[in-house]
Amino acid sequence: MSELTFYTHPMSRGRVVRWMLEEVGIDYSVKAMEFDSEMKSEDYLAINPMGKVPAIKHGNTVVTEVAAICAYLADQVSDKKLSPPPQSPERGVYYRWLFFMAGPFEMATSAKAYNWKIDSSNIQAVGCGQVEDSINTLEKVLSENAYICGDQFTAADILVSSYLWWETMQENISPKEVFKHYIERMESRPAAKRANELDDELAKKMKPLSV
């Protein structure tokens, strides 16, 4: 495969992509980026004009956005079966949850965290609905299935469990037993443990985050 460079910071959504990289098991180099200084540098803005991590450069292909990177990597290493076959009915379910987490769930939980106004005056206009709608939707599907797409672990589970863990820890969503057990099962995967160890070590080498 082409050379892959992973741009990240260990205290960012890059941890989700690190887990995905460990699941697919391909070789990659890491470019650790300090917030503001390196992420806003001319060289990095040529990779991601948003000046944010994570991003990957795979050969000449640049991919940004967590869900997009996870989906891309799953397709690049298809023998790992981290995404349903392209023509299968499950593929639609897989796309649904990738985009649900990147769209409605993250928007709704951000609104909750920062007290953005979502009420009867604008609920029809925003794409996320109330945060409770997202929580109830996930609670229902995870109560009925071992994984977010059914019986198969996929890249979508990496996204779902990572985001649920973060939002629960931040107290943006209330802890629920179904989420707790799901997160524990996902985090017990060897690739998840390796990824956390690697990022924890990298964090020791980075500048402390300002509060």
The answer to whether residue 96 is domain-embedded is yes
The pair of structure tokens assigned to 61 is 């292909």
Confidence (pLDDT) at 150:
94
- Do 196 and 172 have their domain in common? no
- Do 74 and 139 have their domain in common? no
The pair of structure tokens assigned to 120 is 């009867």
Phi, psi of 99 (to 5 degrees): -75, -30
The number of distinct structural domains making up the chain is: 2
Confidence (pLDDT) at 99:
97
Phi, psi of 207 (to 5 degrees): -65, 145
pTM (predicted TM-score)? 0.95
CB atoms within 10 A of CB 112: 20
- Do 106 and 118 have their domain in common? yes
Per-residue three-class SS string for the chain: CCCEEEEECCCCCHHHHHHHHHHHCCCCEEEECCCCCCCCCHHHHCCCCCCCCCEEEECCEEEECHHHHHHHHHHHCHHHCCCCCCCCHHHHHHHHHHHHHHHHHHHHHHHHHCCCCCCCCCCCCCCCCCHHHHHHHHHHHHHHCCECCECCCCHHHHHHHHHHHHHHHCCCCCCCHHHHHHHHHHHCCHHHHHHHHHHHHHHCCCCCCCC
Confidence (pLDDT) at 2:
80
Confidence (pLDDT) at 36:
86
Q: Identify the domain containing residue 123 by its residue range.
A: 89-189
CB atoms within 10 A of CB 38: 16
- Do 175 and 127 have their domain in common? yes
- Do 110 and 172 have their domain in common? yes
Spell out the per-residue pLDDT of the chain, length 211, in tens.
689 999 999 999 999 999 999 999 999 999 999 998 899 999 999 999 999 999 999 999 999 999 999 999 999 999 999 999 999 999 999 999 999 999 999 999 999 999 988 888 888 888 788 888 999 999 999 999 999 999 999 999 999 999 999 999 999 998 899 999 999 999 999 999 999 999 999 999 998 876 5
